[in-house]
Amino acid sequence: MALRTCLALSDHRSLESNSSSPIAAPRVPTQNHGPRARVSGFPHEGDRFLLPALRLSKREANLSILAVLLNGCGPSASAATLRQEVELERYTDSKEGFTLLKPSSWVKVDKAGATVLFEEPTKGSNNVGVVVSPVRLASLGEFGSPQFVVDKLIQAEKRKESTKDAEVIGVAERSGQGGLQVYEFEYKLDSTRGGMKRIFSAAFVTSKKLYLLNIAHSDKPESPLDTQTRVMLEEVLHSFDAAPGT
């Protein structure tokens, strides 16, 4: 998981004043989000998007920071069924200023470069990680559109020697705490390090900090990502937001 590369990009302080409390997995995050707009017609190879009028040095610096997202990190189940089988709990880092839901059974581990990382006890490659880095942007929109960002992420993935293939599944934008602009991405990654994985990522900028969520889960042909696990991971994805009061 590329969380380990973040240490070279910025210094991270140790976590203070963290809190978590168990709750049943909600269908909708406790924060008041606006509707998520799914975007169809994802970029194909050769497509390009226009970059906003930013200085080259700023663009390159923030592309490098966004790159830490990479390398991780049947019938539909009803919300009632999901609540019976999966318990999520809210984790809030008051010091760094973010909040999210996480599987209650996943354990927190120390990882160089990660602000926080939770792993499935029986399979550490299934994990949820957050990286917080200082930036010179006031909002994520200054960096580029969701399509532009995911295009750059996939290009960076494909340049890695370990990557066999990377394919975008979905791109979305939603509103977070106080109208905060949040981008969400989903893509499939096939690499020589861990095989097939499903990656869910989210990003937002506030208080001159870039917040990156990376969710990685095995999605191999012989044991594909099941519907209930997928729904649970999407709840984690949609819950990522700035902490209230930040």
Specify the higher pLDDT residue, 209 or 8: 209
Q: What percent of the chain has pLDDT over 70?
A: 65
Per-residue pLDDT tens for 114-137? 999 999 999 999 999 999 999 999
Burial class (CB in 10 A: 0-12, 13-18, 19+), 184: buried
Give all strands (DSSP E) within 25-69, no chain letters.
37-38
Domain range 2-11+22-46+77-242, CATH class = alpha beta
For residue 101, the one-letter residue type is L
Q: Please report, for residues 30, 54, 150, 215, the alpha-carbon distance to residue 238 in angstroms, rounded to integers and kept in the order given.
A: 10, 29, 17, 12
pLDDT at 153: 86
> What 3-state class would DSSP assign to 139?
coil
pTM, 2 dp: 0.68
- Cβ proximity of 3 and 74 under 8 Å: no
The b/e string for 27-43 (b: 16+ C-beta within 10 A; e otherwise) is eebebebeeeeeeeebb
Spell out the domain ranges in the chain: 2-11+22-46+77-242
Tokens of 97: 């200023």
Per-residue pLDDT tens for 90-119? 999 999 999 999 999 999 999 999 999 999
Q: What percent of the chain has pLDDT over 90?
A: 61
Residue 9 has pLDDT above 60, yes or no: no
Q: Please report, for residues 15, 59, 160, the alpha-carbon distance to residue 88 in angstroms, rounded to integers and kept in the order given.
A: 21, 36, 34
pLDDT at 156: 87
Beta-ladder partners of 165: 190
Of residues 113, 18, 121, the one with CA closest to residue 72: 113
Those residues whose C-beta lies under 8 Å from the C-beta of residue 194, and which sit 6 or more positions away, are 72, 125, 218
DSSP tag of 105: T
